[in-house]
Amino acid sequence: MRTRRTQSARPVPALLEPAPWAIPRGLIVLLAAAGAVLAIAGMKLTADLLGPIFLALMLTVAVQPIQSWARRRGLPAWLGMVGAVLAVAVILIGMIGLLALSVAQLASELPGYADELNDLVDRVRDALASAGVDGQQIHNMLGDVNMGKLVGLLGSLLSGLLGALSNLVFVLALVLFMAVDGMTIDRKLELIRRARPDIAYALTTFAEGTRSYLVVTTVFGLIVAVVDGGVLWLMGVPLPVLWALLSFITNYIPNIGFVIGLIPPALLALLQGGPMLMIWVIVVYSVINFVIQSIIQPKFVGNAVGLNVTVTFLSLVFWSWILGALGAILAVPLTLLVKAVLLDIDPATRWVNVLIGSAAADDEEDGVAA
Protein backbone atom coordinates (compact mmCIF):
# COMPACT_ATOMS: atom_id res chain seq x y z
CA MET A 1 0.00 0.00 0.00
CA ARG A 2 1.48 3.27 -1.12
CA THR A 3 1.78 6.04 1.29
CA ARG A 4 1.15 9.54 -0.06
CA ARG A 5 3.93 11.90 0.51
CA THR A 6 2.91 15.11 2.15
CA GLN A 7 4.37 18.03 0.28
CA SER A 8 6.17 20.49 2.38
CA ALA A 9 4.43 23.84 2.60
CA ARG A 10 5.82 26.25 0.08
CA PRO A 11 6.89 29.68 1.33
CA VAL A 12 4.37 32.40 0.54
CA PRO A 13 5.85 35.07 -1.74
CA ALA A 14 6.57 38.34 -0.05
CA LEU A 15 4.19 40.17 -2.36
CA LEU A 16 1.32 37.98 -1.11
CA GLU A 17 2.01 38.59 2.56
CA PRO A 18 -0.42 41.02 4.17
CA ALA A 19 1.23 44.42 4.49
CA PRO A 20 0.89 46.39 7.69
CA TRP A 21 -2.00 48.83 7.42
CA ALA A 22 -1.05 52.48 6.96
CA ILE A 23 -2.83 55.65 5.93
CA PRO A 24 -2.00 56.49 2.30
CA ARG A 25 0.19 59.53 1.91
CA GLY A 26 -2.30 61.17 -0.44
CA LEU A 27 -5.05 60.84 2.17
CA ILE A 28 -2.75 62.43 4.79
CA VAL A 29 -2.17 65.41 2.48
CA LEU A 30 -5.92 65.69 1.82
CA LEU A 31 -6.79 65.57 5.52
CA ALA A 32 -4.11 68.15 6.32
CA ALA A 33 -5.45 70.46 3.60
CA ALA A 34 -9.01 70.06 4.90
CA GLY A 35 -7.86 70.82 8.45
CA ALA A 36 -6.01 73.90 7.24
CA VAL A 37 -9.13 75.17 5.46
CA LEU A 38 -11.21 74.72 8.60
CA ALA A 39 -8.58 76.44 10.75
CA ILE A 40 -8.36 79.39 8.34
CA ALA A 41 -12.15 79.69 8.20
CA GLY A 42 -12.28 79.68 12.00
CA MET A 43 -9.64 82.40 12.25
CA LYS A 44 -11.50 84.47 9.67
CA LEU A 45 -14.73 84.22 11.64
CA THR A 46 -13.06 85.09 14.95
CA ALA A 47 -10.72 87.79 13.61
CA ASP A 48 -12.08 90.44 15.99
CA LEU A 49 -11.04 88.28 18.94
CA LEU A 50 -7.83 86.81 17.55
CA GLY A 51 -6.40 90.17 16.49
CA PRO A 52 -6.07 91.62 20.01
CA ILE A 53 -4.88 88.24 21.35
CA PHE A 54 -2.09 88.02 18.78
CA LEU A 55 -1.16 91.66 19.41
CA ALA A 56 -0.94 91.04 23.15
CA LEU A 57 1.18 87.95 22.56
CA MET A 58 3.64 89.79 20.31
CA LEU A 59 3.91 92.71 22.73
CA THR A 60 4.49 90.33 25.65
CA VAL A 61 7.24 88.55 23.73
CA ALA A 62 8.76 91.94 22.83
CA VAL A 63 8.98 93.19 26.44
CA GLN A 64 9.91 89.86 28.02
CA PRO A 65 13.63 90.92 28.18
CA ILE A 66 12.60 93.53 30.77
CA GLN A 67 11.53 90.73 33.10
CA SER A 68 14.67 88.73 32.33
CA TRP A 69 16.82 91.80 33.02
CA ALA A 70 15.11 92.38 36.37
CA ARG A 71 15.64 88.74 37.30
CA ARG A 72 19.34 88.84 36.43
CA ARG A 73 19.73 91.97 38.55
CA GLY A 74 18.22 90.17 41.51
CA LEU A 75 15.13 92.39 41.58
CA PRO A 76 11.72 91.02 42.61
CA ALA A 77 9.89 89.21 39.81
CA TRP A 78 6.82 91.38 40.25
CA LEU A 79 8.90 94.49 39.59
CA GLY A 80 9.97 93.19 36.18
CA MET A 81 6.37 92.26 35.42
CA VAL A 82 5.16 95.77 36.27
CA GLY A 83 7.90 97.29 34.14
CA ALA A 84 6.93 95.13 31.15
CA VAL A 85 3.23 96.03 31.43
CA LEU A 86 4.03 99.75 31.82
CA ALA A 87 6.25 99.63 28.72
CA VAL A 88 3.42 98.13 26.66
CA ALA A 89 0.93 100.66 28.02
CA VAL A 90 3.20 103.58 27.14
CA ILE A 91 3.75 102.24 23.62
CA LEU A 92 0.08 101.62 22.86
CA ILE A 93 -1.40 104.70 24.50
CA GLY A 94 1.30 106.94 23.08
CA MET A 95 0.86 105.57 19.56
CA ILE A 96 -2.92 105.82 19.54
CA GLY A 97 -2.82 109.28 21.15
CA LEU A 98 -0.35 110.63 18.59
CA LEU A 99 -2.36 109.18 15.73
CA ALA A 100 -5.62 110.62 17.03
CA LEU A 101 -4.04 114.05 17.54
CA SER A 102 -2.45 114.03 14.09
CA VAL A 103 -5.64 112.95 12.34
CA ALA A 104 -7.56 115.68 14.16
CA GLN A 105 -5.02 118.25 12.97
CA LEU A 106 -5.33 116.96 9.40
CA ALA A 107 -9.13 117.16 9.56
CA SER A 108 -8.90 120.79 10.67
CA GLU A 109 -6.25 121.58 8.03
CA LEU A 110 -7.95 120.08 4.98
CA PRO A 111 -10.93 122.49 4.66
CA GLY A 112 -8.46 125.25 3.83
CA TYR A 113 -7.60 123.37 0.61
CA ALA A 114 -11.19 123.11 -0.64
CA ASP A 115 -10.62 125.58 -3.49
CA GLU A 116 -7.41 123.86 -4.58
CA LEU A 117 -9.15 120.48 -4.60
CA ASN A 118 -12.05 121.82 -6.68
CA ASP A 119 -9.64 123.38 -9.17
CA LEU A 120 -7.72 120.11 -9.40
CA VAL A 121 -10.90 118.13 -10.03
CA ASP A 122 -11.97 120.61 -12.73
CA ARG A 123 -8.59 120.31 -14.49
CA VAL A 124 -8.77 116.53 -14.38
CA ARG A 125 -12.34 116.65 -15.71
CA ASP A 126 -11.31 118.92 -18.59
CA ALA A 127 -8.32 116.70 -19.41
CA LEU A 128 -10.50 113.61 -19.52
CA ALA A 129 -13.08 115.36 -21.69
CA SER A 130 -10.32 116.47 -24.10
CA ALA A 131 -9.16 112.85 -24.29
CA GLY A 132 -12.64 111.79 -25.45
CA VAL A 133 -13.90 110.25 -22.21
CA ASP A 134 -17.68 110.19 -21.96
CA GLY A 135 -19.22 112.78 -19.62
CA GLN A 136 -21.15 110.15 -17.67
CA GLN A 137 -17.97 108.19 -17.02
CA ILE A 138 -16.25 111.36 -15.82
CA HIS A 139 -19.13 112.04 -13.46
CA ASN A 140 -18.97 108.46 -12.12
CA MET A 141 -15.25 108.82 -11.44
CA LEU A 142 -15.10 112.36 -10.04
CA GLY A 143 -18.63 113.14 -8.93
CA ASP A 144 -18.01 112.14 -5.31
CA VAL A 145 -14.59 113.79 -4.96
CA ASN A 146 -14.98 116.79 -2.66
CA MET A 147 -13.51 118.10 0.54
CA GLY A 148 -16.58 117.21 2.57
CA LYS A 149 -16.14 113.54 1.72
CA LEU A 150 -12.48 113.62 2.74
CA VAL A 151 -13.17 115.36 6.04
CA GLY A 152 -15.99 112.90 6.76
CA LEU A 153 -13.63 110.02 6.05
CA LEU A 154 -11.06 111.45 8.45
CA GLY A 155 -13.77 111.89 11.06
CA SER A 156 -14.66 108.21 10.72
CA LEU A 157 -11.00 107.31 11.04
CA LEU A 158 -10.67 109.44 14.17
CA SER A 159 -13.74 107.79 15.68
CA GLY A 160 -12.22 104.40 14.91
CA LEU A 161 -8.98 105.36 16.65
CA LEU A 162 -10.84 106.52 19.72
CA GLY A 163 -12.95 103.36 19.59
CA ALA A 164 -9.72 101.35 19.63
CA LEU A 165 -9.34 102.40 23.26
CA SER A 166 -11.94 99.77 24.17
CA ASN A 167 -9.79 97.08 22.56
CA LEU A 168 -6.78 98.67 24.23
CA VAL A 169 -8.18 97.79 27.66
CA PHE A 170 -8.61 94.17 26.54
CA VAL A 171 -5.07 94.05 25.10
CA LEU A 172 -3.55 95.53 28.27
CA ALA A 173 -5.45 93.02 30.42
CA LEU A 174 -4.11 90.18 28.28
CA VAL A 175 -0.58 91.59 28.49
CA LEU A 176 -0.92 91.79 32.28
CA PHE A 177 -1.97 88.14 32.55
CA MET A 178 0.73 87.01 30.10
CA ALA A 179 3.36 89.04 31.96
CA VAL A 180 2.34 87.36 35.22
CA ASP A 181 2.87 83.98 33.55
CA GLY A 182 6.11 85.32 32.10
CA MET A 183 7.62 85.60 35.58
CA THR A 184 8.21 81.83 35.50
CA ILE A 185 8.61 81.31 31.76
CA ASP A 186 12.37 80.68 31.94
CA ARG A 187 11.91 77.91 34.50
CA LYS A 188 9.10 76.38 32.44
CA LEU A 189 11.18 76.46 29.25
CA GLU A 190 14.03 74.72 31.08
CA LEU A 191 11.69 71.92 32.17
CA ILE A 192 10.32 71.63 28.64
CA ARG A 193 13.85 71.54 27.25
CA ARG A 194 14.66 68.53 29.41
CA ALA A 195 11.52 66.60 28.49
CA ARG A 196 10.83 67.83 24.93
CA PRO A 197 13.88 69.64 23.53
CA ASP A 198 12.32 70.06 20.07
CA ILE A 199 9.35 71.97 21.50
CA ALA A 200 11.66 74.18 23.55
CA TYR A 201 13.75 74.83 20.44
CA ALA A 202 10.66 75.89 18.44
CA LEU A 203 9.37 78.23 21.17
CA THR A 204 12.79 79.79 21.71
CA THR A 205 13.31 80.27 17.98
CA PHE A 206 9.93 82.00 17.66
CA ALA A 207 10.57 84.34 20.61
CA GLU A 208 14.07 85.28 19.50
CA GLY A 209 13.03 85.76 15.87
CA THR A 210 10.07 87.93 16.86
CA ARG A 211 12.16 90.14 19.13
CA SER A 212 14.89 90.49 16.51
CA TYR A 213 12.36 91.45 13.86
CA LEU A 214 10.67 94.02 16.09
CA VAL A 215 13.99 95.58 17.13
CA VAL A 216 15.32 95.83 13.56
CA THR A 217 12.03 97.13 12.18
CA THR A 218 11.65 99.68 14.97
CA VAL A 219 15.18 101.03 14.52
CA PHE A 220 14.82 101.40 10.77
CA GLY A 221 11.31 102.80 11.21
CA LEU A 222 12.68 105.55 13.42
CA ILE A 223 15.40 106.32 10.86
CA VAL A 224 12.89 106.48 8.00
CA ALA A 225 10.48 108.61 10.06
CA VAL A 226 13.11 111.17 11.00
CA VAL A 227 14.48 111.44 7.46
CA ASP A 228 11.05 111.60 5.79
CA GLY A 229 9.70 114.10 8.28
CA GLY A 230 12.76 116.33 7.95
CA VAL A 231 12.63 116.30 4.16
CA LEU A 232 8.90 117.11 4.11
CA TRP A 233 9.48 119.97 6.54
CA LEU A 234 12.23 121.40 4.34
CA MET A 235 9.99 121.11 1.28
CA GLY A 236 7.14 122.94 3.02
CA VAL A 237 4.64 120.07 3.05
CA PRO A 238 2.08 120.59 5.85
CA LEU A 239 1.98 118.29 8.89
CA PRO A 240 5.40 116.65 8.51
CA VAL A 241 5.14 115.12 11.99
CA LEU A 242 2.00 113.23 10.98
CA TRP A 243 3.63 111.86 7.84
CA ALA A 244 6.76 110.90 9.80
CA LEU A 245 4.57 108.98 12.25
CA LEU A 246 2.79 107.32 9.33
CA SER A 247 6.16 106.31 7.86
CA PHE A 248 7.14 104.75 11.18
CA ILE A 249 3.93 102.71 11.46
CA THR A 250 3.86 101.57 7.83
CA ASN A 251 7.47 100.39 8.16
CA TYR A 252 6.03 97.39 10.04
CA ILE A 253 4.05 96.48 6.90
CA PRO A 254 6.45 94.52 4.67
CA ASN A 255 6.89 95.24 0.96
CA ILE A 256 4.03 97.74 0.45
CA GLY A 257 4.24 99.83 3.62
CA PHE A 258 6.33 102.48 1.85
CA VAL A 259 3.62 103.03 -0.79
CA ILE A 260 0.92 103.41 1.87
CA GLY A 261 3.02 105.99 3.71
CA LEU A 262 3.75 107.93 0.52
CA ILE A 263 0.25 108.49 -0.86
CA PRO A 264 -1.17 110.96 1.76
CA PRO A 265 1.79 113.41 1.83
CA ALA A 266 2.05 113.28 -1.97
CA LEU A 267 -1.63 114.20 -2.36
CA LEU A 268 -1.33 117.01 0.20
CA ALA A 269 1.77 118.28 -1.62
CA LEU A 270 -0.29 118.33 -4.81
CA LEU A 271 -2.88 120.55 -3.13
CA GLN A 272 -0.21 122.69 -1.45
CA GLY A 273 2.22 123.37 -4.30
CA GLY A 274 0.88 121.70 -7.44
CA PRO A 275 2.17 118.76 -9.51
CA MET A 276 5.84 119.76 -9.29
CA LEU A 277 5.91 119.60 -5.49
CA MET A 278 4.11 116.27 -5.56
CA ILE A 279 6.68 114.88 -8.03
CA TRP A 280 9.53 116.05 -5.81
CA VAL A 281 7.92 114.41 -2.77
CA ILE A 282 7.51 111.14 -4.68
CA VAL A 283 11.09 111.21 -5.99
CA VAL A 284 12.71 112.08 -2.66
CA TYR A 285 10.51 109.62 -0.74
CA SER A 286 11.29 106.87 -3.26
CA VAL A 287 15.04 107.41 -3.08
CA ILE A 288 15.14 107.54 0.72
CA ASN A 289 12.86 104.60 1.29
CA PHE A 290 14.32 102.50 -1.51
CA VAL A 291 17.82 102.79 -0.10
CA ILE A 292 16.79 102.22 3.52
CA GLN A 293 13.83 99.84 3.22
CA SER A 294 14.69 97.92 0.05
CA ILE A 295 18.49 97.62 0.24
CA ILE A 296 19.67 97.99 3.84
CA GLN A 297 16.73 96.87 5.98
CA PRO A 298 15.90 93.55 4.20
CA LYS A 299 19.44 92.33 4.87
CA PHE A 300 18.97 92.72 8.62
CA VAL A 301 15.32 91.59 8.65
CA GLY A 302 16.08 88.52 6.54
CA ASN A 303 18.90 87.42 8.82
CA ALA A 304 16.73 88.11 11.88
CA VAL A 305 13.61 86.15 10.90
CA GLY A 306 14.79 83.67 8.24
CA LEU A 307 12.02 84.42 5.72
CA ASN A 308 12.60 85.24 2.09
CA VAL A 309 10.86 88.05 0.20
CA THR A 310 8.24 85.83 -1.43
CA VAL A 311 7.14 84.24 1.84
CA THR A 312 7.08 87.67 3.50
CA PHE A 313 4.82 89.11 0.80
CA LEU A 314 2.48 86.10 0.86
CA SER A 315 2.29 86.33 4.65
CA LEU A 316 1.30 89.99 4.30
CA VAL A 317 -1.51 89.11 1.89
CA PHE A 318 -2.72 86.17 3.97
CA TRP A 319 -2.75 87.82 7.41
CA SER A 320 -4.22 91.05 6.02
CA TRP A 321 -7.07 88.99 4.61
CA ILE A 322 -7.55 87.21 7.94
CA LEU A 323 -7.11 90.05 10.45
CA GLY A 324 -7.29 93.25 8.38
CA ALA A 325 -4.90 96.13 9.07
CA LEU A 326 -3.64 94.56 12.28
CA GLY A 327 -2.75 91.43 10.34
CA ALA A 328 -0.64 93.50 7.95
CA ILE A 329 1.40 94.88 10.86
CA LEU A 330 1.74 91.48 12.56
CA ALA A 331 2.26 89.47 9.35
CA VAL A 332 5.90 88.53 9.96
CA PRO A 333 5.60 87.65 13.69
CA LEU A 334 2.49 85.56 13.01
CA THR A 335 4.28 83.74 10.21
CA LEU A 336 7.15 83.03 12.60
CA LEU A 337 4.60 81.60 15.05
CA VAL A 338 3.14 79.30 12.39
CA LYS A 339 6.64 78.27 11.29
CA ALA A 340 7.56 77.41 14.87
CA VAL A 341 4.42 75.30 15.39
CA LEU A 342 4.47 73.48 12.05
CA LEU A 343 8.15 73.28 11.06
CA ASP A 344 10.62 74.04 13.84
CA ILE A 345 8.87 71.78 16.32
CA ASP A 346 9.76 68.66 14.28
CA PRO A 347 13.35 67.92 13.19
CA ALA A 348 11.96 66.01 10.19
CA THR A 349 10.43 69.20 8.73
CA ARG A 350 13.11 71.77 9.51
CA TRP A 351 14.62 71.27 6.07
CA VAL A 352 11.78 73.48 4.75
CA ASN A 353 13.54 76.44 6.40
CA VAL A 354 16.18 76.17 3.69
CA LEU A 355 13.52 76.82 1.03
CA ILE A 356 11.63 79.63 2.74
CA GLY A 357 14.52 81.30 4.55
CA SER A 358 16.96 84.03 3.62
CA ALA A 359 19.23 83.84 6.66
CA ALA A 360 22.94 83.24 6.49
CA ALA A 361 24.03 79.84 5.26
CA ASP A 362 25.46 78.88 8.65
CA ASP A 363 22.16 79.56 10.37
CA GLU A 364 20.29 77.49 7.80
CA GLU A 365 22.65 74.55 8.19
CA ASP A 366 22.32 74.70 11.96
CA GLY A 367 18.52 74.69 11.65
CA VAL A 368 18.56 71.64 9.39
CA ALA A 369 21.11 69.74 11.41
CA ALA A 370 19.49 70.49 14.77
Helix axis angle, 257-273 to 275-289, nearest 10°: 150
CA distance 265 to 152: 18
pLDDT digits (tens, 9 = 90+) for 324-356: 878 888 888 898 898 888 888 888 777 777 777
Burial of 268 (0-12, 13-18, 19+ CB in 10 A): buried
Burial class of residue 77 in the structure, from the number of CB atoms within 10 Å of its CB (0-12 exposed, 13-18 middle, 19+ buried):
middle
Cα–Cα distance, 56 to 88 (Å, whole number): 9
pTM exceeds 0.85, yes or no: no
In the chain, where are the structural domains located?
48-183
Q: Is 342 exposed, middle or buried (0-12, 13-18, 19+ CB in 10 A)?
A: middle
Q: How far is CA 187 from the centre of its chain?
A: 30
Tens-binned pLDDT, residue by residue, of the chain (370 aa): 455 554 545 554 554 555 566 677 777 778 878 888 898 888 888 888 888 888 888 888 888 888 888 888 888 888 888 888 898 888 888 877 777 777 777 777 776 766 666 677 666 666 666 666 555 555 555 555 555 566 555 555 555 555 555 677 888 888 888 888 888 887 888 888 888 888 888 888 888 888 888 888 888 888 888 988 888 888 888 888 888 888 888 888 777 777 777 878 887 888 787 788 888 888 888 888 777 776 777 667 666 677 777 888 888 889 988 888 788 888 888 988 988 888 888 887 777 777 777 644 344 444 444 4
> CA angle, 209 as apex, 205 and 215 as ends, to 5°?
150
H helices, E strands: number in the chain: 17, 0
| Res 216: pLDDT | 85
Q: What is the CA radius of gyration of the chain?
A: 28
- Among residues 213, 286, 285, 226, the alpha carbon closest in space to that of 252 is found at 213
